[in-house]
Structure 1
Amino acid sequence: MSSWSKRVLVIRKPLEREVEEFVEKLVRVHGKSKADKMKLRLLASEVLRLIKPSLSYRDLYELTGLPESVLCRYVRGSVIPSFEHATRILARISLSVDLGHLLRDLVEHEKSPIIDLLRVLKDPYVARLLSIMIYLDLADRKITKIIATAEAVLPIATMLSIEFSAPIVLVKRNKSYPGIQYYSISVMRGPRDVETLYLDRDLVTRKDSVLVLSDVVYSGKTLEAVLHMLMKSKAEIVDVYVIMGLGSNWMERLKPYNVKVLSIVPFEI
C-alpha cells in the first residue's frame, strides 16, 4: 500500500473571493475549446482520487460543497465532473490543501538525519499532487522551459513539463562537456569546498519564459547562483518554486527574487 494513504491532510477554508478569482483564471485558460475543458475535467477527477485516501467523503463535501453521492461517482471514475464543477473543485482544493504541513509530515515520517527529497518524494502520488498544485497556480502563465536545479525535483519537473509542453533543463554540478558552451558560476560552500554550476547556453535563450524548480534551500547560495546564470541568458524568470526551505538563513538572500517556498522546516529536524 502506498504511504500516501497514511498521510493526514490539513485543510484551510479559503475566502469566497479567492475561490471566485481562481475559478475565473481556470475558465479563462481552459474554457476556450472542448479539448481544454476536457483536460480540466479529467484533472479535477484525478485530484479527487489523489486526496481521497486522506479524506472522508464528508471532508470532501465540506471542502467542495458537492454532495457526497456525486463526489463518490467522481472519485470512482464512473462520472467525470462537469467543467463548472471541475473549476470549483480545483480552485477549492488548490486554495485549501496545506502542502507545507504535508511535506513536514513526510520529512518527520522519514526519520532520517538528512533531508533528502528523493526520499521524501519517493511516493509518486505525492509528487503528482505537488505538480498539479504548482500547475494550477501558474495555469495562466506562459512557460517555455523548466529549470531543474537538482535531480530530486526531476519527477515533479517531468509532470510539469507535460502540462506546459515545456522542455526540462537540468543545472549540472561540477560537470561539463567539451564542445558545449555554458553559463557557469562557482559557489563557495566552505574554505576548501567550491561547487561549480553549469547551464547549457543553447538550451536557454532570451526568448524563453522559465519556471525554476529547486529542492531544498538552506543558505540560498545555490539557488541565487542559478538565478544569476539565468539573468545572463536574459530569459524571463516567470516564477521560482522551492519544495522545502530549511531554517531561515535563506530568507534574506532570496527575498529580492520573490521565491515561493512550499514548506519551511526547522533546521533542528
Structure 2
Amino acid sequence: MVRSSLSSFVVRKPLENEISQMMSNINRVYGGTKANRMKIRLLANEMLRLLKRNLSYKDLTALTGIPESVLCRYVRGNIIPSYEQAVGILSKLALSIDINHLLRELVEHEKSTLIDLSRVLKDPYIIRLLSIILLLELVSTNVTKIIVTAESVLPIGTILGIELGAPVLLVKRRSYPGVQYYSSMVIRSPKEAENLYIDRDLLSRKDNVLILADVVYTGKTLHAVIDILEKARVTIAEIIVILGLGNMWRERLRDYPVKVLTTLPPPVSM
C-alpha cells in the first residue's frame, strides 16, 4: 500500500484479474471508433494529472509500470499514450484508488456531527476523480438515465451523464401544478412525512437507470426512490451510494443491488 503526501489519499495494488476485466470492459465500449479511442487516451492523461497532485512519479510508476520520464511527459501534456497503454493506465489507476479511505477521511476532516456531503464533495478535484473512477466501473453498463437523489451529488451525476450520454434527473421534494409525476412517500416519524417526485414524461419502460445517492442511513428515502422507479417499470441497472451510516439500511434494501462507497458509524445525534 502506498500512502500519498496527503493523509486522505491511499492506494492499493489491484489484482491482475480485476485489471484484465476492466481493460476488457473499456475495450468493448471504447475500442470501436477513432473518436472513442482518442477519448480514452486523453482521459488517461487527465487521470495522471489528477493523481500527480497527491502521488509522486515514483508512486505512479509502481502502479502503472511506466517509466517516470514517460509519465512526466504525459502529465505535462507533451505527448499522450497509445490507446492500448491508456487502457492499461486507466484500469490500473482506477482500481488502485482506495475510495473508502478517501471519503472517510474527507468526512472526518469536516469534524461535524451532521453529515453534509455538499461540504465533503466541494473540491472539484475530488468530484472529477470520483466521476472518472465511477465512469470506468460503469463503462460496461448500458445506463440511459441517471437518477440523482440529492443536490450534493448532482455535480458527479452531471459529469457521468455527459460521459455516458445519459440525461440526469434530480428527485424532487415538491410538485408543481400541471406536471404529472411518479411519487412515493417517506414516513420520517409518526408526525413527519415527505413526498418524493420524478416527472412521468422523463422516464420510459425501456430505460436502464443508475441511482446515485448521497447518504443512506435508515434506507427509507432510497427505498422510496426505488419504489418510484418500480412504478415507472424501468430497469434499475446500478445503485451507488456515496456514504452509508451504520447498518440500519441493509435490511430494508437487502433485495436491491446497492453499492456503498464507504461506511461510517452514524453520528450520535442521529
Contact 1:5–1:53 (Cα < 8 Å) also in 2:
no
Q: In structure 2, how many angstroms separate the alpha carbons of the residues matched to 1:265 and 1:51? A: 25
Contact 1:214–1:241 (Cα < 8 Å) also in 2:
yes
Contact 2:114–2:267 (Cα < 8 Å) also in 1:
no
Contact 1:206–1:234 (Cα < 8 Å) also in 2:
yes
Q: In structure 1, how many angstroms separate the alpha carbons of the residues matched to 2:6 and 2:92? A: 22
Report the secondary structure of 1:239's partner residue.
Answer: strand
Is 2:227 the counterpart of 1:228? yes
Q: In structure 2, how many angstroms separate the alpha carbons of the residues matched to 1:208 and 1:7? A: 41
Output aligned runs, 1:1-269, within 5 Å: 6=6, 8-173=8-173, 175-268=174-267
Q: Report Cα offsets for 1:180-239 as digits up to 9, x if no partner.
A: 111111111112111111111111110211111000010111001100110111111110
How many angstroms does 1:15 deviate by?
1.3
Q: In structure 1, how many angstroms separate the alpha carbons of the residues matched to 2:218 and 2:107? A: 19
Contact 2:241–2:259 (Cα < 8 Å) also in 1:
yes
Q: In structure 2, how many angstroms separate the alpha carbons of the residues matched to 1:76 and 1:163? A: 23
Contact 1:214–1:242 (Cα < 8 Å) also in 2:
yes
Q: In structure 1, how many angstroms separate the alpha carbons of the residues matched to 2:104 and 2:252? A: 23
Contact 1:7–1:54 (Cα < 8 Å) also in 2:
no
Please identify runs of 4+ aligned residues in structure 1 that moved more than 6 A: none
Contact 1:6–1:54 (Cα < 8 Å) also in 2:
yes
Contact 1:184–1:196 (Cα < 8 Å) also in 2:
yes
Aligned residues between the structures: 265
CA 235–5 in structure 1, closer or farther in 2 if over 3 Å, else same: farther
Q: In structure 2, how many angstroms separate the alpha carbons of the residues matched to 1:79 and 1:147? A: 37
Report the secondary structure of 1:256's partner residue.
Answer: coil
Q: Report Cα offsets for 1:28-78 as digits up to 9, x if no partner.
A: 111111101000011111111111111111111111111111111111111
1:167 maps to a residue whose letter is P
Report the secondary structure of 2:10's partner residue.
Answer: coil
How many angstroms does 1:113 deviate by?
2.0
Contact 2:31–2:37 (Cα < 8 Å) also in 1:
yes
How much is the aligned-residue C-alpha RMSD, in angstroms?
A: 1.4
2:155 maps to a residue whose letter is P
CA 5–146 in structure 1, closer or farther in 2 if over 3 Å, else same: farther
CA 118–214 in structure 1, closer or farther in 2 if over 3 Å, else same: same
Report the secondary structure of 1:78's partner residue.
Answer: coil
Q: Which runs of 5 or more structure 1 residues have no equivalent in the other structure?
A: none
How many angstroms does 1:268 deviate by?
3.9
How many angstroms does 1:6 deviate by?
4.2
How many angstroms does 1:5 deviate by?
8.3
Report the secondary structure of 1:215's partner residue.
Answer: strand
Q: In structure 2, how many angstroms separate the alpha carbons of the residues matched to 1:17 and 1:176? A: 47
How many angstroms does 1:7 deviate by?
5.2
1:11 maps to a residue whose letter is V
- Structure 1 window deviating more from structure 2 (255-264 vs 7-16): it is 7-16
1:209 maps to a residue whose letter is N
2:180 maps to a residue whose letter is Q
**Normalised by the size of structure 2, how large is the TM-score?**
0.95
How many angstroms does 1:83 deviate by?
0.7
Report the secondary structure of 1:172's partner residue.
Answer: coil
**Normalised by the size of structure 1, how large is the TM-score?**
0.95
Q: In structure 2, how many angstroms separate the alpha carbons of the residues matched to 1:114 and 1:147? A: 24
Q: Percent identical across equivalent pairs?
A: 58
